Amino acid sequence: MAKVTLLTYTPQPEKAVAAAAKLCYSPASISDITEGLTEEKTASFVEMLAEIGHESPIEHASFTFGIEGVSRSFLAQITRHRIASYSVQSQRYVRETQFSYVVPPEIAARPEAKALYIKAMERDQKDYEALTEILKADHEKAFLAKGMEPKAAVRAAEKKAIEDARFVLPNACDTKMVVTMNARSLQNFFRHRCCNRAQWEIRDVAEQMLRLVLEAAPHLFKNAGPSCLSGPCPEGKMSCGKMQEVREKYRAIREAAGIEIPEKGEEGR
């Protein structure tokens, strides 16, 4: 299953956001912009931004995650979030020798389906290796014919071979990446990917990411999560129909992070 690590983030992220907000609403100069920003005043600034919907200052805090144990299918989904930076392990430069793969829970739960799935993965591995060797042999001959040194020819031939052999690899193939998003992009990401209707793999990663940033910047992300936490479900007739269950789930996540929860009935107003 996926594993998410918070690698680094803006030092004192909430203070950075509060300083930017302070500049917008006071005559403070850059030299004294952080003066007086106690923990209490910083929290007040951050919460005020959420209340009035002024989101641009929160872009000054960014968070970098290491994500591993996810599929190439996941990669196609997360990169739809365009205001972010991605560094992904390349199948063009890294040979997939005995590649790992993600097994969807619905398949893992059914022995017959799981057995068929594993056979498909094993077949893909064999086809990938066979294609690599066929292409590598031809490329090596061509490079040697051009006068390239033998060792260099072998390296160049393999690189060129796996560029094309990788096309046979499945969406299930395991990958890893480093992802950086600013806090505003993260909040948008959580609204979409923590939703029950998000695909299971990216929803799992989104929830792990949210738990991590809640520890790093609790005031900044105290209201983060699917859209239904603060209003009606935006999915209309496509709704999962479990809004109260979702709210209770995220209430528990926030409580676990030590965040003060409004009295019953105040959430979602």
Q: Hey, which residues are catalytic here?
A: 193
Contacts of 32 (CB under 8 A, 6+ apart): none
Match 């072998």 to its residue by tokens.
154
Dist. CA 228–CA 209, nearest whole Å: 19
Dist. CA 107–CA 59, nearest whole Å: 40
Alpha-helical runs (H) found in the chain: 13-25, 39-52, 72-78, 105-108, 111-145, 150-165, 183-193, 200-216, 218-221, 243-256
Contact yes or no for 135/161 (Cβ under 8 A): yes
Contact yes or no for 82/119 (Cβ under 8 A): no
Match 């948008």 to its residue by tokens.
188
